[in-house]
Amino acid sequence: MALKTAEKYLESLRKLDLKVWMFGEKVQNIVDHPVIRPSINSVAKTYELAQNDAHSSLMTVASSLSGERINRFTHLHQSAGDLVNKVKMQRLMGQKTATCFQRCVGMDAINALDSVTYEMDLKLGTKYHANFRSFLRYIQDNDLVVDGAMTDPKGDRSLRPSQQPDPDMYLRIVSQNSDGIVVRGAKAHQTGAINSHEICIMPTVAMTEADKDYAVSFAIPSDSSGITYIYGRQSCDTRKLEGSSIDVGNALYGGQEALVVFDDVFVPRDRVFMCREFQFSGALVERFAGYHRQSYGGCKVGVGDVLIGAAAQMAEYNGAAGASHVKDKIIEMIHLNETLYSCGIACSCQGHRTPSGTYLIDMLLANVCKQNVTRYPYEIARLAEDIAGGLMVTMPSEKDFRHPEIGPYIEKYLKGVAGVPTEHRMRMLRLVENITLGCAAVGYRTESMHGAGSPQAQRIMIARQANLEHKKKLARIISGIDREE
């Protein structure tokens, strides 16, 4: 059966032998660790909803490789409709978890690799596409989570990979033989890496011939020998160790990032998808980035839905819901959020078929989508903080609230409108804090800026894709300088 249950997913993670470090200590049990478990729950939700009759038509799809029903997160987009449904699915997942659910990067990686490996083989006579399709069939048949790993530490940004004083600042090939390759380096900011079954590596920038050792793509099991995971800290993360569902804000779900170190890791030849073909590294980077920038028009919008709902609920709890300026702020939040969604849908509807059969989004509109994502969530968060009030960052802890001596003071003085329990007000305030400032900010606020590339990366792509010469020609025709052809 191609579809796992959430329970089977958790069981599969327990079988992994991962080398994970957090707070200076090796983690022995990732599944039950209180800091890690909320992020695992977010991924498990992708399995749960696929089994849910109300959502299965969106969460699952017939595989283009086997014809079997598979999770959409492992699917190759076969139409513009598939691209649209991807964004709809991501919005749903954001609504259900209010954080990063971590399977988008792998989905975007497999779709980029499918078309690029096909075109690479066509031009160079290589056999990478067969390797990739075999890997993907394995992923689909077993409903596995793939971590798409692109971002290198980069070291000195003014220098190319081959110019770095430390050659390991970009992941590279250090040796190879007929059986495979050996790689060394690291991948930074790896979303959901510890919750993944497979790590799929891609180059992080377009390489030149001098950088060809860094033009590498492959996939290996996440618990392969030589891989070390160093868990990334998040704001308020130790609250998860305290056992307070109120103080965490979103106690059930969370995101996850890690620094993944590759210390002379062997990759079998049949798992290699690029090996020094530097000419195609730029295409892979651009297509992956385009798909991932499209993704933000879904996932961030879903989290935005929750934040808007929390702000509107806080307005009611505070007795301010009727104020005209509060109504206007909520309308503005909705407007900004739906604008992001519109961009995600637009770049999907304008998608086109690549030679491999996989559909690619409209690259210009995908970059416009992500450029807006670097701005609008910040304004949505600011307005939510405005509506929630200063108590969001000055409120006492749940332990104080539960204390027999001082708890009654909190119950009395943190009361909002009559009829709403003080605890409800506290829970909603913590949820707003979680999304805007706390652990979920990684998957909403800050990631909106840096995920899928910096704002400048999108502006570079917008300049490339905009066809300014065509626009100038239109102006010359209308003004009478040129004749229409």
Rounding to the nearest 10 degrees, give the CA dihedral for residues 56, 60, 61, 65.
Answer: -150
> Nearest-CA neighbor of 340 among 382, 310, 374?
374
Query: Is 191 noted as a catalytic residue in this protein?
Result: yes
**Could you give the 3-state DSSP secondary structure of residue 25?**
strand
Q: Please tell me which residue in 104, 200, 275, 439 is annotated as part of the active site.
A: 104
Contacts 24+ apart (CB under 8 A), 134-140: 134/270, 135/198, 135/219, 135/271, 135/273, 136/65, 136/74, 136/76, 136/110, 137/65, 137/66, 139/74, 139/110, 139/198, 140/2, 140/63, 140/65, 140/66, 140/68, 140/70, 140/74, 140/75
Query: Is 47 noted as a catalytic residue in this protein?
Result: no
Query: Is 292 noted as a catalytic residue in this protein?
Result: yes
* Tokens encoding 423: 């605890």
Q: Please tell me which residue in 97, 99, 253, 299 is annotated as part of the active site.
A: 299
Contact 274, 196 (CB under 8 A): no
Q: Please tell me which residue in 47, 214, 231, 296 is annotated as part of the active site.
A: 296
Q: What is the distance, to the nearest Å, from the Cα of residue 7 to the centroid of all Cα atoms in its chain?
A: 23
Distance between CA atoms of residues 204 and 151, nearest Å: 5
Q: Please tell me which residue in 97, 126, 231, 257 is annotated as part of the active site.
A: 257
Q: Please tell me which residue in 117, 126, 191, 436 is annotated as part of the active site.
A: 191
Query: Is 352 noted as a catalytic residue in this protein?
Result: no
Q: Please, what is the angle between helix 6-14 and helix 37-50, to 10°?
A: 140
Dihedral over Cα of 466, 470, 473, 478: its sign: negative
Q: Please tell me which residue in 47, 74, 99, 100 is annotated as part of the active site.
A: 100
Distance between CA atoms of residues 190 and 483, nearest Å: 53
Query: Is 296 noted as a catalytic residue in this protein?
Result: yes
Query: Is 447 noted as a catalytic residue in this protein?
Result: yes
Dihedral over Cα of 349, 352, 358, 362: its sign: negative
Q: Please tell me which residue in 75, 77, 129, 292 is annotated as part of the active site.
A: 292
**Could you give the 3-state DSSP secondary structure of residue 150?**
coil
Neighbouring-strand partners of residue 147: 199
Contact 131, 273 (CB under 8 A): yes
Query: Is 257 noted as a catalytic residue in this protein?
Result: yes
Render 182-214 in DSSP notation, one character per residue: EEEEEE-S-TTGGG-SEEEE--SS---GGGGGG
* Tokens encoding 247: 């103080």
Dihedral over Cα of 169, 172, 174, 180: its sign: positive
Cβ burial, residue 152 (10 Å; 0-12/13-18/19+): buried
Distance between CA atoms of residues 240 and 249, nearest Å: 10
Q: Which residues are catalytic?
A: 100, 104, 191, 257, 292, 296, 299, 447
